[in-house]
Amino acid sequence: MNTAPPPASFPGIDGFLGTRASIMLDVVFVAMFVVLAVMAWSIYLVRYRQEYLLHKRIQLILGTVLLITVAAFEVDMQWLTEWELRAVASPYFVQDYSSATPAAAKWGCTVGRSLLLHLSFAVPTFALWVFVIVQALRHFPRPPQPAPYSRRHKLWGRLAAFGMTMTSLTGWVFYYLAFVA
Ligand code: HEM
């Protein structure tokens, strides 16, 4: 492990997990555990308890929470926190990083590749969640009940759940490589 510079040397607000990450990164890191647990519970409820309305409500709340989190996260990453500065102490990041560092070096190192892998799950999963929610709202009766649309919803719903799981796992790996190692 490398010794992190004192927190005051990073722009943005420091997190609460005692790593080099910013507060938004820590919030998202923890939120993903909650999202996965609640999503698993929601799928359990619909599959084994036939709690269709509860499943709908939980998924709509999860979708809204995710939308707000992604928006706040983007604002933080684009304007407030320069995550690269927080990652410089990692042995897996470009050691001599400056804002003039070529993109190839930044994205070619282990941290950069892990972020690309994470984004390759996060971006399609985000679109998939919007699709699954919009289609479910359009095709299921109110209150929700099994319907001819069920077969397709189960397929896309499982894919959306898998995407969210992979987004979380790859996000945690990126967090570790960039801000803990
Ligand atoms: C991204 C959001 C959602 C995800 C990931 C999701 C995921 C799932 C999954 C995986 C199943 C199948 C469970 C099994 O294996 O039996 C399921 C079933 C179901 N979902 Fe969703 N769902 C979402 C949103 C919604 C919404 C918004 C509604 C209602 C408008 C809804 C209504 C239902 C119903 C009625 C079933 C039962 C289908 C049946 O057994 O015939 N879902 N969902």
- Give the pLDDT confidence score for residue 73 in this predicted structure: 87
Tens of pLDDT, residues 161-179: 999 999 999 999 999 999 9
On the CB side of 4, CA atoms within 13 Å amount to 17
| Average pLDDT over all residues of the chain | 93
Percent of the chain residues past pLDDT 90, beyond the cut: 83
Tens of pLDDT, residues 119-177: 999 999 999 999 999 999 999 999 999 999 999 999 999 999 999 999 999 999 999 99
Tokens at residue 167, please? 């987004």
Tokens at residue 96, please? 């001599």
Ligand 1, pocket-test mutation among 41, 154, 162, 168, most atoms within 8 A of CB: 154
Kindly state the helix (H) or strand (E) to which residue 37 belongs, with its residue range.
helix 23-48
What pTM value is reported for the model?
0.93
Q: Is 151 in the pocket of ligand 1 (CB under 6 A)?
A: no
pLDDT over threshold 70, residue 4: no
Q: Is 55 in the pocket of ligand 1 (CB under 6 A)?
A: yes
Ligand 1, pocket-test mutation among 55, 150, 168, most atoms within 8 A of CB: 55
28 and 171 Cβ atoms separated by less than 8 Å: yes
